Amino acid sequence: MLTLLRNGVLLTPAPAADASVLLVGERVGRLGDVDEAALAALGLPYAVVDARGGFILPGLVDPHEHLIGAGGEKGFATRRPEVSVEQLLLAGITTVVGCLGTDGVTRHLGALVGKVQQLVAEGVSAFLYTGGFHVPPLTLTGSVTEDLVLIERVLGVGELAISDVRSSHPTLDELARVVSSAMVGGRTAGKAGVTHFHVGPGRGLLKPLHALLDNYEIVPECLYITHANRSDELMDDAIALSRRGGYVDVDTVDPGIGRWIRYYLEHGGAAERLTVSSDAHTAGAEPARLHQELVSMVREHGLPLEQVLPFFTANPAAALKLRGKGRLAPGLDGDVVVLDRHSLEVVHVVARGRWRVRDGRLLAGGQGDEA
């Protein structure tokens, strides 16, 4: 299948002026001028996505979602539902990473693997973290390292809780063993091998992670924290971690994260180490919030689209070593979103080379049929 996106302003996420994007199968074949007459002369079927008046950019990468639901900490009535493929695509999310969270009793890694595989079958690129809030981590094979090596879609371990009443309060030695196990599994399998840390509002902040870097042979880029936007004190500590080489994520559960992005950048946080996630489905968090906060940063906080777009695309892809994701270049994955140039609303979405959202409406299985 060939898909041509034309007449839009290209952000790769770096600005690349007016250009067309030709997708060949599930990959980007060409950026720039595309001779449509020559393309038609091939005699092959192709779809044309008119991006006139819009921005053409990489599909959004959401590095932290509770794909099989979260919540339940205030009783079973507070459990949240699964995330659907429709919610992802309509938000411009073409790559997502799932995690368990607090509840490792009534929610299971096997169910999360099944959900990830369902989303893959439905056309979205989906992955997961093994483990959960507690140490020792829950696993599918009996070991974090083996999960990473043997299970294709596992990228790391987490979200592992620190500085939180819900944490299992692991010792530094226990944390070091988990982080090292994930790193070894990642290196063996050619994956990120990160440990994804849920950071709570506790007074410990990121002290355990700084202690790991100070006292153990830990590679900083294997540490990837989330919920850094809880307080100024935590954000300051996250900025310090980013300077040491760790990755920092802010979630969109509470609106208005533009102020946190400004704070992070103005106080010297490493821009290439910052990501944004939806944290869906926790209370108040939906996949759509990821796109809404991207729009808010530009329209309400005055941040340039080309400055903030990497936090939603290239940076999470780099943190998770998803080498085909988060950027548009020949040979990379054909995940493309078209935003209206004025409203920044999602107009079209192409995921893995297939047209999935047209004029803001979901198509059932790709080119052609509406849901």
Hunting for tokens 């946190």 — which residue is that? 260
Known catalytic residue at 279: yes
Quick check: 304 and 298 in contact, CB under 8 A? yes
- CA atoms of 268 and 124, how far apart (whole Å): 35
User: Of these residues, 62, 251, 279, 333, which one is catalytic?
Assistant: 279
C-alpha distances in Å from residue 103, one per residue of 73, 135, 138, 166, 308:
8, 13, 11, 10, 33
What is the 3-state secondary structure of the chain? CEEEEEEEEEECCCEEEEEEEEEECCEEEEEECCCHHHHHHCCCCEEEEECCCEEEEECEEEEEECCCCCECECEHHHECCCCCHHHHHHCCEEEEEECCCCCCCCCCHHHHHHHHHHHHHCCCEEEEEECCCCCCCCCCCCCHHHHHHHCCCEEEEEEEEECCCCCCCCCHHHHHHHHHHHHHHHHHHCCCCEEEEEECCCCCCCHHHHHHHHHCCCCHHHEEEECHHHCHHHHHHHHHHHHHCCEEEEECCCCCCHHHHHHHHHCCCCHHHEEEECCCCCCCCCCHHHHHHHHHHHHCCCCCHHHHHHHHCHHHHHHCCCCCCCCCCCCCECCEEEEECCCCCEEEEEECCEEEEECCEEECCCCCCEC
Report, as residue numbers or ranges, the catalytic residues.
279
